[in-house]
Structure 1
């Protein structure tokens, strides 16, 4: 699959509806980043910008990356609406092929999973290298399919150990948290449900 094919896949996904996600900050980002002193942050797979805008509102200087122009247009519009566009630099990149320069006090990757080509090992390796001394690497994955997504029940989801094998070099990191956690949500029909996430929080020594 070519770079153009991957990009078109995500453009088509975002074109399915005027807003793909809730617009709320991801729970684990809020819990991890909330106590941190604002600095430079890299938001990988920023989507429609909910996390990036939340961080910018709290004083972070944000570099936000996504492959979809449509997602980035929505993210820019939301950042402008909430008065933080000057604190966010948006970049349209296929992270399997390109990666932004710089060091960051926080590197965040939420649900960077795809049914089309995504070189997660390369991305997470570069994400780990981009964390400044004393900084934090936050990776959150879906650990299992949502209860209502029957078509994904045979899908093999990444494990915590698989991700750690890519990023957790001996002696480099303090392992703050690494395991599977539950997150309450509602189904598309409005019923309560529980999702399983893999939550990895590492701090560079």
Structure 2
């Protein structure tokens, strides 16, 4: 099923509907009332009732749908009150970061990896932002999907794979409502409602160290080493090795480079081409690169354990001193930890240490 097929199908659905003043979904009004306005994204906006309602309350709204008919109609109704875009969510996702993303009844008889779309939505949220998913929990007598199975809100949350340390499930329930069919008939149906919030960034405090110079330097270096490894660990393919900035820098390459830095500084290994170290081997998984870095750090610490004098050379008879090496590694690792922080947020929105 391609984009043309999806557009044709949904254009037919919307063209057959009478143009009228659309109303917002009740679950949206329940959730949003009382929230301060921000940037909102309405996925599968259809007639645009939710988008228009949000815009009237001060939200800066981007409304998207695959149907050209739906998009054109809503653009005509909305004027300059909101942004309307056409997207086939299987192939593209709106750019930007949002405080609220809503996906109401994002069901289709056509092929769609809905979980992938909803994961993209989760990644597009700012810290503190909310993702509202409202699904059918039962089929009305007039619905086309009588044989469909509707996963519950907790199952949907599980499919999204959200880290409980970074996400809060605000609401997960299955309320009933009265639905009205195309001929004016009514029926009691169930909604599945899931509301999740991205937690605000929580950085770890500076490390507690001993009072000696060596303890302070090594404590801060280990703090940064742990931070940069955690930024890479678990990052999704292929984004983890894709260039996210014009320089070509990528998240996995940063950690690969730092592995060579540790080995060169503390283990005496020679590096012929430093620029090449910013590219991880295609055969290496994320777990491989992270494990290799942690092994290099462990071996480097073994060397440092045998160097109590900061003024002495790391390797007998050769510069630099232990003090210089530690200071350089703190600067190098800290700089790339900052780069990694930005690159990871660009990939999936993850923030914090």
Where does residue 329 of structure 2 map in the other structure?
none
Q: In the TM superposition, what are the counterparts of 1:4-83 in structure 2 within 5 Å?
A: 4-19=4-19, 23-80=22-79
**How many residues are paired up?**
198
Residue of structure 2 in register with 1:141 after alignment: 135
State which of 101, 115, 118 in structure 1 corresponds to 2:112.
118
Q: Let me know the Cα RMSD of the aligned residues.
A: 1.7
Which residue of structure 2 lines up, in the alignment, with residue 102 of structure 1?
96
Per residue, is there more strand in 1 or in 2?
1
Higher Cα radius of gyration? 2
What CA deviation, in whole Å up to 9, does each residue of 1:29-65 have, x standing for no partner? 1111111100000111111111111101100001111
> Where is the helix percentage greater, Structure 1 or Structure 2?
2
**1:154 pairs with 2:147:** yes
SS at match of 1:152: coil
* More RCO (CA 8 Å, sep 6+): 1
Secondary structure in structure 1 of the residue aligned to 2:174: strand
CA distance in 2: counterparts of 1:163 and 1:153, whole angstroms: 20
1:200 matched to 2:200? The reply is: no
Go from structure 1 to structure 2 and tell me whether the alpha carbon gap of 1:125 and 1:75 turns closer, same or farther (over 3 Å shift). same
Question: 2:133 and 2:83 mapped to 1: Cα distance?
Answer: 21
In the TM superposition, what is the alpha-carbon distance from 1:22 to its structure 2 partner?
6.6
Q: Could you tell me how far apart the structure 2 residues matched to 1:22 and 1:141 are? A: 23
Of 137, 146, 164, the match for 2:157: 164
Give yes or no for contact 1:124–1:166 (8 Å, CA) kept in 2.
no
> Cα–Cα, structure 1 residues 124 and 191, in superposed 2: closer, same or farther, change >3 Å?
same
Gaps in structure 2 of 5+ consecutive residues: 200-353
The 3 A distance-change label for structure 1 pair 191 and 60 is same
Contact conserved, 1:125 with 1:166, CA < 8 A, in 2? Answer: no
1:9 to partner: Cα distance = 0.9
1:82-114 per-residue CA deviation (whole Å, 9 max, x = no partner) reads xxx2x3111101011110111111011101110
Residues in 2 aligned to 1:191 and 1:49: alpha-carbon distance in whole angstroms: 23
Quick one: structure 1 residues 115 and 171, their matched pair in 2 at CA, closer, same or farther if it must change by over 3 Å?
same
Asked whether the 8 Å contact 1:24–1:50 carries over to 2, the reply is yes
Q: Judging changes above 3 Å, is the alpha-carbon distance between structure 1 residues 187 and 71 closer, same or farther for their aligned structure 2 residues?
A: closer
Regions of 4+ moved over 6 Å: none
Task: Specify every segment of 5 or more residues in structure 1 that has no aligned partner in the other structure, as ranges.
Answer: none
CA 1:173/1:47 → structure 2, altered by over 3 Å: closer, same or farther?
same
TM-score, normalization: structure 1? Answer: 0.89
Q: 1:128 to 1:18 in 2, by over 3 A?
A: same
Tell me the TM-score normalized by structure 2.
Answer: 0.53
Tell me if the contact between 1:179 and 1:200 (Cα under 8 Å) persists in the aligned partners.
yes
**CA 1:67 to 1:189, structure 2 compared with 1: closer, same or farther past 3 Å?**
closer
